[in-house]
Amino acid sequence: MSRIEWTRRGPDEIEEAVSMFICRLYPSAFRVRASRGDGGIDVCVPTAPNHFDIYQVKKFSSNLTSSQKKQAEGSHKRIAKYAAGRGWVIDNWYLTLPLDPTTENLTWLAAIAKSGTFPCEWRGLSHVDGWAAQFPEIVDYYFESGKARLNEDLARFTAISGVPMSENSPVNVGNYANLTPSDVLNGITQLRETLNSRDPHYLYDFAVTGSLPMNYPSSLPATLAVRAVQQVGESYVTFDVHARCAESLNERPITARMTLIVESGSENERELKEYIKFGRVPRGLITVRDMEVDMPGGLGRESAEGKIRILEPDMEAEVFERRLEVLSPDDEVIASIELKMYPPLKSSDGNGVSNRGTDRSGAFELETLTVLEPLTPMSLRFHCGCIEGKFPDEVEPALAVIGALRGGNRLRMGKVRGPNTVDIQEIPCDLLDEQQSGLSEILLRYVRALLVVQKHSDIEIRIPESIDDFNIEKTLQVAQLLKGDTLQSKWAEFTIVVSADAPDFEEPGSPVIMSEPLTLEIGDHQVDLGAQRIILESANLVRTEIDSDGDKVLTFEPALGNEIVRVSWLDPTTTESLSASEE
């Protein structure tokens, strides 16, 4: 491949191709375009959670003018502000263009670096030419006639594989209708390899099977952009299109047209309306008809009726952290939690915005829905996720926040670290209904009780996998005992087993004092917690029996109308110290 004469290329061609070089080098990278002002493209490369390298791609291919330098300086300031608003750390900023620097250029760039908080380097002609040599298919696609050749290859592949082309295809598949079986056997492997060597954005695979392939989301590769299955005779041809990098779907989008069907008044209708108004992605399946899907190169498929699931874009690389606090009417922090916030999603007209964040455990999700013009009060919504199988300390902050979501309290959202700009929102009185409020309070007490139990056990306690195994009442009682409380209740009859040589019970109405093991069933575990002391304040012995082992079985009833029984925990540390002092 001959060297590219960058000075003869259009500015848009340069920025598109160079930014795609970087996206292919780093498949998780994504591009941020400047809407106005300094121009160029920022390519953001995730290096660690909330850490990024930024490649600022410029079209300049000859010595920089003062105006072009100002544009680069503006890009530097803009991305710093953009990153700060999302809690990002910029590890490196690379000014990237098909031009090697002069000594004066490097001095100027060093001054830019001193004005900010991150290192700045030049990625010039030698880097760009090296990338061009590494990715000739990108050069061919953007600067030569590679796009037209790719469409022809796709048409031939479609004719061979039996996957239909859409009516909007730029080439005529009928030109290849007379292919023979020998053409198929000799050419299909080579054709696939040709496709994959020419397309800079997608990779193609196919398979022929005797049964319909099962599509489980968990088993599908993350790179899969589209899977089309076509029945040909008694066989099924599966055609997979994989994105080479995250930006492939933005550079050459896969579009679809369909009619969505929802029942009036249903949850699907509500979610679809919110998707249109706020950009909030529906959670469930939606019935569609008259569906047409365009695939790269004009490949596509049609369906009379089916179901679709709308998925959120992959935004893991753009998440940022926020601290959510619940304030009392006196501005006291009642509960606090750290959230992983996802970038806002917008409606198609840009006037509605939805935002969501989740805690580390997944037990709490906060959603906001906002209309920008005219600006209306933010709608607030929360979801309580699954707590089963998690450690109590993981979910306690989430349940504490949920329990504090009551009218009169307020929400405060701010950064986790650094200078803090906060947003405060009043909590609506109807955010939690009576049932939700009651359930959240019970679960919070239960989880906090498990935390108390954990302090006295070497077993790593998890919340049981089934709510039927929570054993809430007993867990709350045991936690009270472990905290040093004495539990008091009424009793009607009590039976104990003592050895055959135990002394006889003394006077009627005397107290009965005994100890028993204290255990608690938590899921599949029986947690041993020492012993508990039981005191019957006033008892009459009503029956004495001998069991099969020769031990006495004593049955008591309350005496003198005193039905009080008191239970306390025998703290082993206290018991040991008392025994030592007695010695």
Contacts of 42 (CB under 8 A, 6+ apart): 31, 32, 33, 34, 54, 55, 56, 57, 75, 79, 82
Per-residue model confidence (pLDDT) at position 146: 61
Per-residue model confidence (pLDDT) at position 249: 86
Buried b (16+ CB within 10 A) or exposed e, 318-343: bbbbbbbbbbeeeeeebbebebbbbe
Looking at mean pLDDT, say which of 208-217, 373-382, 518-527 comes out highest. Answer: 518-527
Q: Examine the pLDDT at 399 and tell me if it is beyond 90.
A: yes
Percentage of the chain beyond pLDDT 70 is 85
Q: Identify the residue whose tokens are 């009859």.
A: 493
Mean pLDDT across 209-234: 74
Confidence of residue 580 (pLDDT cuts 50, 70, 90): very low
Q: What are phi and psi of 235, to 5 degrees?
A: -110, 165
Q: Examine the pLDDT at 176 and tell me if it is beyond 50.
A: no
Q: Judge if pTM exceeds 0.95.
A: no
Q: Examine the pLDDT at 414 and tell me if it is beyond 50.
A: yes
Confidence of residue 161 (pLDDT cuts 50, 70, 90): low
Contacts of 431 (CB under 8 A, 6+ apart): 380, 382, 405, 406, 407
More confident position, 86 or 474: 474
Q: Examine the pLDDT at 11 and tell me if it is beyond 80.
A: yes
Strand partners, 93: 54, 120
Q: Examine the pLDDT at 279 and tell me if it is beyond 90.
A: yes
Percentage of the chain beyond pLDDT 90 is 50
Mean pLDDT across 331-337: 94
Q: To the nearest whole number, what is the mean pLDDT of the chain?
A: 85
Q: Examine the pLDDT at 552 and tell me if it is beyond 50.
A: yes
Mean pLDDT across 135-140: 90
Looking at mean pLDDT, say which of 56-60, 250-254, 374-378 comes out highest. Answer: 56-60
Q: Examine the pLDDT at 178 and tell me if it is beyond 60.
A: no
d(CA 306, CA 46): 37
Residue 410 · residue 335 · CB < 8 Å: no
Amino acid (one-letter) located at 105 = N
Q: Identify the residue whose tokens are 């008259």.
A: 290
Per-residue model confidence (pLDDT) at position 309: 81
Mean pLDDT across 164-181: 47
* Among 454, 479, 467, 440, CA closest to 523: 467
d(CA 365, CA 381): 8
Q: What are phi and psi of 454, to 5 degrees?
A: -60, -30
Mean pLDDT across 258-284: 92
Per-residue model confidence (pLDDT) at position 225: 83
Q: Examine the pLDDT at 474 and tell me if it is beyond 60.
A: yes
More confident position, 505 or 556: 556
Over residues 33-62, the pLDDT tens digits come to 765 545 568 899 999 988 999 999 998 988
Over residues 500-536, the pLDDT tens digits come to 888 887 688 889 999 999 999 998 889 999 999 999 9
Mean pLDDT across 392-415: 92
Long-range CB contacts for residues 43-46, cutoff 8 Å, separation at least 24 = 43/19, 43/96, 44/317, 44/318, 46/317
Domains of the chain: 6-143 (3.40.91), 146-308 (no CATH), 319-450 (no CATH), 482-582 (no CATH)
Mean pLDDT across 165-192: 52
Q: Examine the pLDDT at 327 and tell me if it is beyond 70.
A: yes
- Token representation of residue 343: 């970038």
d(CA 515, CA 556): 16
Lowest mean pLDDT among 403-417, 458-472, 567-581: 567-581
Per-residue model confidence (pLDDT) at position 1: 55
Per-residue model confidence (pLDDT) at position 165: 45
Mean pLDDT across 477-501: 94
Over residues 281-320, the pLDDT tens digits come to 998 889 999 888 777 655 566 777 888 888 787 676 678 8
